[in-house]
Amino acid sequence: MVMINPAGLDPDLLRAFAFIAEEGSFTRAAERIGRTQSAVSMQVQRLEAVLGQKVLVRGKGGAIQLTPHGRYLLERSRELLALNDEIWSAFRAPQIHGTVRLGTPDDYALQYLPHILRRFADSHPAVQVDVTCAPSTDVVERLKAGELDLTVCSEGHEPRRWPVMELWRGPLRWITSERYAAHRLDPVPLAVADSGCVWRRVALRSLERAGRSYRVAYTSTSQAGTHAPVMAGLAVTISPPAWMPEGLRALAPGEFLPDLPDTGILLLKGKDPRQPVTDVLAAHIAETFRSDPRLLER
């Protein structure tokens, strides 16, 4: 017989636990929640009492570590909290009407747009989202021209002195095939975007500084177009490791090719965006990136 707890799980307890896991600190989690550290510690104790399992332990030097039960709980907590917030917003937020124009490279569109658009449509059915998929350079220019209200782009394409929201920061990696070893060839064959791409410039600069010879074997305006020759073992490319399709792998730091710097994904708002729909969609986008467990792995 399955035992059911009639009280359920308190979202406030789950949120405190998730913030501690994400921050690695009771103090920083308490600051995000707006409560004292002792209050947050008590919330975790209550959660563990309800579940009957330890979810957090202190490691060497006081570092916060998740137990196996804690890792399981963190993934499900994000899903439950996102649904909780979505339901709350749908019933408590004022009805918003209008159209918001969003620009994004296809690198991020396939990974995140379906989820973002579905959740946004569920909670704001009277808002229409017009989406433009184009390289970062193009969507940023359209934002500057007033043709878009919001733009997701790769770091390095943002205009100077333009307010930005950082959605994610993490490593770029060389991406090669699981079956083939194009990364061992000399010169290194590359599959990259066109000359306006920041990631392309970063890759070429890293190879040149390391004295490695290379040739640009394939160019494409889409990430799928750069992945295809890599899967065939004909080239290597670069990207964050979170979005590799099956058949590809990220080289470890220092594995045959020079290390690449960290990069960021940014959200830019137009100078005269359509309000309040723009801010609401921006919050949905930020929450989607923040809750993606793949992006927490470095």
**98-165+265-296: CATH number:** 3.40.190.10
The contacts of residue 144 (CB under 8 Å, 6+ apart) are 159, 271
DSSP 97-134: -EEEEEEE-HHHHHHHHHHHHHHHHHH-TTEEEEEEE-
Check residue 125 and give its pLDDT: 80
For the residues 160-172, what does the mean pLDDT come to?
89
**Residue spans in the chain of domains classed CATH 3.40.190.10:** 98-165+265-296, 173-260
Check residue 106 and give its pLDDT: 83
For the residues 196-225, what does the mean pLDDT come to?
92
Highest mean pLDDT among 46-50, 117-121, 149-153: 149-153
Closest CA relative to residue 273, chosen from 183, 134, 147:
147
Check residue 149 and give its pLDDT: 93
Neighbours of 202 (CB within 10 A): 18
Highest mean pLDDT among 102-106, 193-197, 220-224: 102-106
Is-contact 183 174, C-beta < 8 A? yes
Span 103-127, pLDDT tens digits: 998 878 777 888 888 888 877 788 8
pLDDT at 1 over 60: no
**Residue spans in the chain of domains classed CATH 1.10.10.10:** 11-91
Check residue 92 and give its pLDDT: 62
Which residue in the block uniquely carries the two structure tokens 């960021």? 264
* pTM check: above 0.85: no
Check residue 229 and give its pLDDT: 95
Check residue 7 and give its pLDDT: 52
Helix (H, G, I), strand (E, B), or coil: what is residue 163? coil
Q: Which two tokens stand for residue 211?
A: 């004295």
pLDDT at 2 over 50: no
Ramachandran category for residue 142: left, alpha or beta (phi over 0 → left; psi -120 to 50 → alpha): alpha
Share above pLDDT 70 across residues of the chain, in percent, rounded to a whole number: 92
For the residues 273-277, what does the mean pLDDT come to?
75
Is-contact 130 102, C-beta < 8 A? yes
pLDDT at 89 over 70: no
Query: Is the backbone peptide bond immediately before 187 cis, with ω within 30 degrees of 0?
Result: yes
**11-91: CATH number:** 1.10.10.10
What is the rounded end-to-end Cα distance, in angstroms, of the chain? 41
Amino acid at 176: T
Span 3-26, pLDDT tens digits: 445 457 888 888 888 888 888 888
Check residue 298 and give its pLDDT: 46
Binning pLDDT at 50, 70 and 90, where does residue 84 land? confident
Q: Which two tokens stand for residue 125?
A: 């059915």
Least confident among 43-57, 58-72, 77-91, 198-212: 77-91
Check residue 98 and give its pLDDT: 80
CA atoms within 13 A on the CB side of 35: 16
Decide which of 3.40.190.10, 3.40.1710.10, 3.40.50.300, 3.40.50.1970 is the CATH code for 173-260. 3.40.190.10
